[in-house]
A and B are shown apart, each in its own frame.
Chain A
Amino acid sequence: MRAAVVVFPGSNRDGDVARALARSGAEVVKVWHTETALPAGTDLAVVPGGFSYGDYLRCGAIAGRAAAMDAVRAHAARGGLVLGICNGFQILCESGLLPGVLMRNVQRRFICHRQFLRVERTDTRFTTAYAKNQVIDVCVAHGEGNYFADPDTLAGLEGEGRVAFRYCDASGGLTEDANRNGSLNSIAGVYSEQRNVLGMMPHPENFVDALVGGTDGRGLFDSLAA
């Protein structure tokens, strides 16, 4: 598994995701946002978290149109794997690789806490190491994570099984309390039509080492590197 982590001015989680990927056995290189091509042999393009371009205009709006994102779009069109986390998810939505948009959290506050997620399916390249409906314990840290899509798009996502993760409580319940940013249908992550692109607000890369409190994020990187 060869992974390319795209770095924008203001990215700040590129190091953590690179470390999580390397821990699972991936070979990782970083790609500056002005590059027009990904390194030859790239299997997975990663758009990391952070505050690209200071969140100016809209979160992910400017990064979504960077040169490197043309390369990421071409990679996805060839069937290549793409993972966007947090600001990376916002960038994938702004770049047109995923539908919908991440709006300001419904309670208007930046949220930063541990968060349970329900794994919706395990037959994608991102989730084979998990069990169906497994509840995983990861982290969230965002001010704009409130997933919104128009009713037709939302119905399409649900009908095609393109919801990857949902915010839930410890027993997997989709409660309002567990969905603190107000996302429609408690959506925490979505797949592209071909399921080769995944965007998610939570941070699985935070929890790959017991030293910092949890290891439930490992499954995602282990699935990818398998």
Chain B
Amino acid sequence: MKARIVVTLKTGVLDPQGKAIEAALKSFGIEDVSGVRQGKVFDLEIGSEDRAAAEAMLKAACDKLLANTVVENYTIEIV
């Protein structure tokens, strides 16, 4: 199985990089955008075929390492 984990900043947490990207987009004439936030994507391959076990494992991976839950949220998608 394959999985994709998306880590994003929580609402309200300042994202200077997102702001810089938004300003850059506008400078290229792409003006109808707002609220740009930068995040991270992790693609993983999982040996097990047990979806529930894989979800539990990936949740542990997020909580232990992939996300800093003080400022970040994550979503797990098994594909």
Inter-chain CA distance A18–B13, complex, in Å, is 36
Q: Are B70 and A101 in contact (CB under 8 A)?
A: yes
Query: For residues 32 through 67 of chain B, which have their beta carbon under 8 Å from a beta carbon of chain A?
Result: 64-66
A-B pairs with the 7 shortest C-beta distances?
A108-B16, A101-B70, A104-B16, A101-B71, A101-B68, A108-B20, A106-B16
Interface residues of chain A, those whose CB is within 8 Å of chain B, are 57-58, 61-62, 65, 94, 99-101, 103-108, 146, 148-150, 182
Question: In the complex, what residues of A have CB within 8 A of residue B71's CB?
Answer: 101, 103, 148
Q: Are A103 and B13 in contact (CB under 8 A)?
A: yes
Interface residues of chain B, those whose CB is within 8 Å of chain A, are 13-14, 16-17, 20, 64-66, 68, 70-71
Secondary structure of the B contact surface, majority rule = helix
Secondary structure of the A contact surface, majority rule = loop
Inter-chain CA distance A149–B68, complex, in Å, is 12
Q: Are A107 and B16 in contact (CB under 8 A)?
A: yes
Q: How far is the CB of A16 from chain B (nearest CB, A)?
A: 27
Q: How far is the CB of A217 from chain B (nearest CB, A)?
A: 29
Q: How far is the CB of A46 from chain B (nearest CB, A)?
A: 23
Across the interface, A57 reaches (CB within 8 A) one of B13, B17, B65, namely B65
Inter-chain CA distance A101–B69, complex, in Å, is 10
Q: Are A65 and B66 in contact (CB under 8 A)?
A: no
